[in-house]
Structure 1
Amino acid sequence: MRFRAFLSYSHADSAWARWLLRRLETYRVPSRLVGTQGTNGVIERRLGTFFRDREELPTAGDLGATIRASLTDSDTLIVICSPAAAQSRWVNAEVEAFQNSGRGDRVLCFVVGGVPGSADPALRCFPPALLEPDAQGTLREPLAADARREGDGRERAFLKLVAGLLGVGYDRLAQREAQRRQRRWAVVAATSVLGMAIALGLAVTAWVARIDAQRRQAQAEDILGFMLGDLRKKLDTVGRLDLMRAVDDKAMAYFATLDPRDLSDRALEEQARTLTGIGQVRLSEGKHDAAMGAFREAHARSTALHQRAPDNGQRLFDLAQAECWIGMVALEQGRYDEAGVWLRKYRDSSIRLAAMDHKNFGWQREVAYGHHNLAVLDERLGRYPEAERAFREELALYRTWTPQHPHDTALRFEASNVASWLGTLSARQGKLVDAEAFFTEQLTGMESNLAAEPANAKWQDLRINALYLLVEAQVQRGRRSQALTNVLAATKSADALARQDPANNLWQTPPAICRWWQAQLSATSDIATAIQLADEAATILTRARAAEPENERVLRWLVMARNLQAQLALAQGDSRGAQTHAAEALTLLEPAWKNGPNEVLRLVLANNRILAGEGAQAAGDDAAARADWQRAEQVLTTDVRDALPFERLDPLVRTLLHLERAAEAAPHQQRLTVAGYVPLRPFPEAGRIAAQRPTSPSP
């Protein structure tokens, strides 16, 4: 036989398999037993060579030639028994193959989990083949060493297993082992007495100092755990980024004082989580580079920890979070290729994490998040059908989960968030009734969360977001009175939240968005109020962009505010003011469009060129107007894979009518009408705009 034994185990018990193999291969037989006769032959000093499968087992039905050959060449089969092994068809197949060779009496069991003989299938630890007759029809009770704490314990069970391999009685081996330990300790004691006497004084001093240092470090880490756990959650609830930043700075200052020798795995885990939290705070403040640096540091530590213990689910979870946040920062910065790389890594890590424990609901949700983020990327790239399909599948999961967890506000938020994305995608594809329904579902979820936790600033912020998304859907369907009611409610809440924490840049943008919508809705009835609101929106967004220059969302709304100022100037006959605002908007927008063109920026750019053309026409420069409209047409008609996207129809109809191509505009206008779309501004007559040219330059 090439192998003394073949170790059969479920890969869920791989840590036990590694430990047992190491102990067996390094075990030295007590000298008084070497050369004596055991039931399995003459006892040698070493136990011999053992076989442990280190790769994944084959996915086909056959064990494979290597496994069968190793079983044939093994004198004994050691089965690591646990509920996972009892349910493993490969462990059972290895037992059957070994028994069929006529060596059913050479099977030894090492129990590490479950309950031997339990009637509960979930607690059984013996593979079924061990409880059935072998090829000769003999039914043998499994010979088991029980390594569980309530059984023999790990060391006693190990000696029982060795006794079975040697073919000697356990008592005999245990007695010899005890004698060997006594002799070893006698030698060690005699050798150590002199050294201990010399080093005693220094050792006592060092021991006291070490214990004191460990006590202080444990106390500090307990305090740190509170700061990064319960305290952070409370600060996040009220949106106090300034205090969260102070907590993060204190944590990092503490880590900097630690000696590298004191950086245990626990300390490294805390550092990784702290860095992830710091990155989230910096991202909320709009500091993308600082956020990315923190997330990359967290990723480096999490990667090292995961490599040390690849079977540790918590470490894989921490690694996945770092991957996700790196991808999200890249997404916010418009670096879509890099975002795709990291978000796919996160999705793959979340799938592996969920497979580790199917009963861990939190880990199962990570898979939904992984697919969600990639769907967001599809939406940014204009791949709407693909994004909608993924979001609908995700929403179906949440509609199943939320009734099962009715008090889980975080879960309800996630479901509402998916409904929000589906509302946006529905609007962009002309499904306006669906869009309003999804945004209403989002708003209902956020209002339920706010009713359950009235002081939670996060729910307040998300309710505001849901309100102005619903406003847009209602405006597109011509439901302006309902839209105005909702935008006024959103404005009141947004202003209060922005005052609560001026350092939170995420909370500074919603008041501007609300004012933008108020200005749009009041433009036809109160132009002076509309201009004031548009100016306020532009001022707020200019400050937000200064704080967060790489945030594409802030940039887009600032450009839209400048476009609105241009539109309102035209309504007053101020062609020069309109051209100035349109030029300012284009200056802001062009670098982002060149660096990362996407569907959202495309629409903003097209509307900018339409307004610039209207301003040029109002000023009497028909050639410049025509050039601007031709540029708008080019932007709107390029990069079309199939049918023209619905969201491009309104600006394209306006452009074609300005270019006096009403026949070409007609089918696009028909699609808008069929969808129930009501334009915010009446479509212009072909070639002319309603604004009258001024007779003198505007001041």
Structure 2
Amino acid sequence: MRYRAFISYSHADEAWATWLFKRLETYRVPPRLVGRQTGQGKIGARLGAFFRDRDELTAASDLSATIQDALAESDALIVICSPAAAASRWVNAEVEAFRASGRGERIYAFVVGGEPGCIDDGGCFPPALTAPGEDGQPVEPLAADARPEGDGRKRAFLKLVAGLLGVGFDQLAQREAQRKQRRLVQVAVASLAGMTLAIGLAVTAHVARNDAQRRQAQAEDILGFMLGDLREKLTTVGRLDLMRTVDDKATVYFATLDPRDLSDRTLEEQARSLTGIGQVRLDEGNHDEATAAFREAHARSTALQARDPGNGQRLFDLAQAEFWLGFVAFQQGKYGAADAWLRKYHDSAMRVAAMDRGNFAWQKEQAYALHNLAVMDEQRGRYVQAERSMRAAISLYRDWIGQRPGDLPLRSEAADAMSWLGTLALARGQLDSAEDYFAEQVDVLQRNAAEEPDNAVWRDYLVRARLLLVDALAQRGKLEDARSLTATTLPVAAALAAQDPANNAWRTWLGACHWWRSRLATDDAAPLAEEEAAQAERIFVAALAAEPEKERLVVWLARTRHLRAQLALGRGDLRAARGHVAGALALIEPAWRARQNEDLRLWLARTRLLQGDIDASSGNRADGVRSWTEATHLLEQPDRRGPVPFLRLEPLLRAQVALGAQEKAVATRRRLDAAGYVPLHPFADIAPVAAR
């Protein structure tokens, strides 16, 4: 046969015919199938030539004869089925002619629209395709359904190829999956060189406009893959370092484009690519470059959404840009800007979810938006509002997990929301509840890590969750459990930090593990405590240098210097203790002046309190009283209604004891005891309330 198949289609489906023709003629058969003998003959490396009348009939003088010859010389007939094809007398005639040749079993239907089983106006099969055979029974054609609600374009294409080759679909799909996996590694290595070439081609767009548009599309397809699919793969193995050079070249490439060349599709691809670039920069701790990328993505997404307000995908993309701008502002401690962006994101998320209740990705935006508002309220001490939003998000997750029990990311997101309930419980003195919430998150993430041991994301999340649980265990006096959990977490954090040294978040978790090892060291392990604290300080100094505006790192480094000052005071080295406290104050005081929140208030008060202890130990009780008084004012400051927040009680009690405010100290101790709080070091001069 001259042709592998004759492609019959209605003129209305010409775009589908063009796409299918190119895919079939360029398809490479998986090597392991080449040479195999099937009912369709020996399989070659290519499918062969295909006949498509629009390309080959324009020069023919006898249209009918040309079609008959092409049908006779075609091994199979592919019918692109749609309502237009069902109504086309030419498509029907071609099917009749091919069936008349006695090869009806070699007809393949490729459904692109309409309903395969419908014979009314909505049907897609030409009458001859289902006409009764010699036995009088209606024929049920072999069909590949390319509609989104059917097999989908890719799966339908493979079904069609499997029929042409005479092999099982599962066998061909498995071979394709194996080939894709082998190529992924090759693509990851070769993509940087390909990216450079593609960008170089795109920069020449001004020379020949038509050629430039083709090259621009190629370059942005590669960018879309590298900053989308490839980035996701590299994220799971913890190799975002491979993306940084690509990001730089992509940023330069976008800057070279003429605004006149920016079609809607180009703007969409650029917005998604810039969002990916911003995420990589954020993981590196480069907030300024991350913000710049997110702002560029937001500008493009805003323009696109304005052009087509009813397009849900464009609203979804705009919501992502709003979220990332809010998130990076939150990371910088710019809570006003963060709150404004995250509320915009909440509004967009609710709108996009309402546009298509069947789109699960859009539905999840509701939970994310509620989660973000809860975190903002928690940061500002609005615990009741925060818990209300978080429980609303958890209610959504419970429904979804019931429908998708095997969805690991969904399971992790729900556990993260439960963990935030633990954080809120800690802030309100509900220590037993906090421990339960954190333990539940750890359990979920351990199951995820066991099911996907090579996924670095689960190990990252697991380290964070365990550190939260360590804190809750320590506050309840379960020190052996806290030490054991810290010991098992430290190697995981160390492996992550070694895997990608530029990942500042992973470096931070490693420093936190060393901090807890020092903090939980027993009294007879003073050298270990000092060694671990010194290691934590080295890590946090490097991390803060990478992200100088990140408040969490400021607090962690101040906490570490505070801890080193405590250790020095414990061994009687007042000079070293004074130096460490001064280093902590040098960090925490400017941050407190810039933006006042609970974390900064708490650690500034703790540091002032420790400074007073050092002064008193040096014989300067008057200076000590001043420092203790400053700490007390910070902790008792009536900046809200109701009693002093629970998180302030432990340092407040120590300040009250130091100042001799016995009656106040007893009342404060009563609240701590009622919550089940157990101090790591005993409260001096204050007996348990039960003994009074």
Q: Is TM > 0.5 for Structure 1 vs Structure 2? A: yes
8 Å Cα contact 1:537-1:561 kept in structure 2? yes
Matched, 1:382 2:361: no
Give the 5 Å matches for 1:298-313. 298-313=297-312
- In structure 1, the partner of 2:665 is 665
Per-residue deviation, 1:211: 5.4
Counterpart of 2:105?
A: none
- Deviation of 1:214 after TM superposition, in Å, equals 4.0
Native 8 Å contact 1:423 1:434 kept in 2 = yes
Matching residue of 1:331: 330
Separation in structure 2 between the aligned mates of residue 489 and residue 269 of structure 1, nearest angstrom: 44
Cα offsets for 1:467-486 (capped at 9, x unmatched)? 11101111111111111110
For the structure 1 residues 298 and 210, does the alpha-carbon distance in structure 2 shift closer, same or farther, using more than 3 Å as the test?
Answer: closer
d(CA) in 2 for partners of 1:461, 1:346: 26
Per mean C-alpha deviation after superposition, the further-off stretch among 213-222 and 469-478 is: 213-222
Counterpart Cα distance in 1 of 2:401 and 2:612 = 50
State the distance in 1 between where 2:259 and 2:631 align: 60
Distance 1:588 1:209, change over 3 A: closer
Superposed, 1:474-513 pairs within 5 Å as: 474-513=473-512
Per the TM alignment, residue 114 of structure 1 is displaced from its structure 2 partner at its CA by 10
* Count of residues paired in the alignment: 488
Given that 2:367 and 2:397 are in contact with CA atoms closer than 8 Å, whether structure 1 keeps it comes out as no
- Which residue of 1 is the match for residue 245 of structure 2? 246
Deviations 1:119-155 (A, max 9, x none): xxxx9xxxxxxxxxxxxxxxxxxxxxxxxxxxxxxxx
Q: Provide the C-alpha distance between the structure 2 equivalents of 1:258 and 1:583, rounded to a whole number of angstroms.
A: 52
The one-letter code of the counterpart of 1:526 is A
Partner of 1:685: 685
Task: Measure the CA separation in 2 of the matches of 1:212 and 1:570.
Answer: 73
CA contact (8 A) 1:576 1:615 kept: no
Shift of 1:392: 1.9
Q: Distance in 2 between matches of 1:420 and 1:507?
A: 19
Secondary structure of residue in 1 paired with 2:433? helix
Pick the structure with greater CA Rg: 1
Deviation at 1:209, TM superposition (A): 6.0
Residue pair 2:231, 2:240 contacting (<8 A) in 1 also = no
* Kept after mapping to 1: 8 A contact 2:366/2:393: no
Q: Is the Cα–Cα contact under 8 Å of residues 278 and 291 in structure 1 kept in the other structure?
A: yes
Q: Distance in 1 between matches of 2:279 and 2:498?
A: 21
2:225 corresponds to which residue?
A: 226
The 8 Å contact of residues 326 and 338 in structure 2, kept in 1 or not, is answered as yes
Unpaired runs of 5+ residues, structure 2, are: 1-112, 123-204, 687-692
The answer to whether the aligner puts 1:269 opposite 2:264 as a matched pair is: no
Indicate the residue corresponding to 2:371 in structure 1. 372
1:286 aligns with 2:277: no
Which residue pairs with 1:414 in the alignment?
413
TM-score, length-scaled by structure 1: 0.67
Other structure's SS at 1:531 match: helix
Instruction: Tell me the alpha carbon deviations over residues 412-460 of structure 1, each in whole angstroms, 9 at most, x when there is no partner.
Output: 1211111111111111111111001000111111112212221111111
Give 2:654's aligned residue: 654
The one-letter code of the counterpart of 1:654 is R
Partner of 2:645: 645
Give the aligned residue type for 2:674.
V
Partner of 2:675: 675
Q: Distance in 2 between matches of 1:492 and 1:260?
A: 50
Measured after TM superposition, the shift of residue 246 of structure 1 is 2.0
Taking the TM superposition and a 5 Å limit, the aligned residue runs for 1:536-575 are 536-575=535-574
Distance across 1 between alignment mates of 2:254 and 2:335 = 34
Q: What pairs up with 1:83-482 in 2 under 5 angstroms?
A: 212-482=211-481
The offset of 1:210, in angstroms, is 5.7
Provide the residue aligned with 1:197 in structure 2.
none
Contact 2:227-2:277 within 8 A present in 1 as well: no
**In structure 1, the residue corresponding to 2:520 is in which secondary structure?**
helix
Q: State the alpha-carbon separation in 1 of the partners of residues 251 and 595 from structure 2.
A: 35
**2:566 maps to amino acid:** Q
**8 A contact 1:523–1:568 mirrored in 2:** no
Q: Specify whether residues 340 and 480 from structure 1 end up closer, same or farther in structure 2 by C-alpha distance, changes over 3 A only.
A: same
Say yes or no: does 1:530 pair with 2:536.
Answer: no
Deviations 1:339-391 (A, max 9, x none): 11111100001111111111111111111111111111111111112112221
Code of the residue aligned with 2:354 in structure 1: it is A
Percent of residue pairs identical: 56
d(CA) in 1 for partners of 2:560 and 2:208? 64
Residues in 2 aligned to 1:294 and 1:210: alpha-carbon distance in whole angstroms: 27
**Structure 2 equivalent of residue 40 of structure 1:** none
Aligned amino acid, residue 477 of structure 1? R
User: Cα RMSD over matched residues?
Assistant: 2.2
Amino acid at match of 2:246: V
The Cα offsets for residues 171-213 of structure 1, whole Å up to 9 and x where unpaired, read as xxxxxxxxxxxxxxxxxxxxxxxxxxxxxxxxxxx9x966544
SS in 2 for 1:550: coil
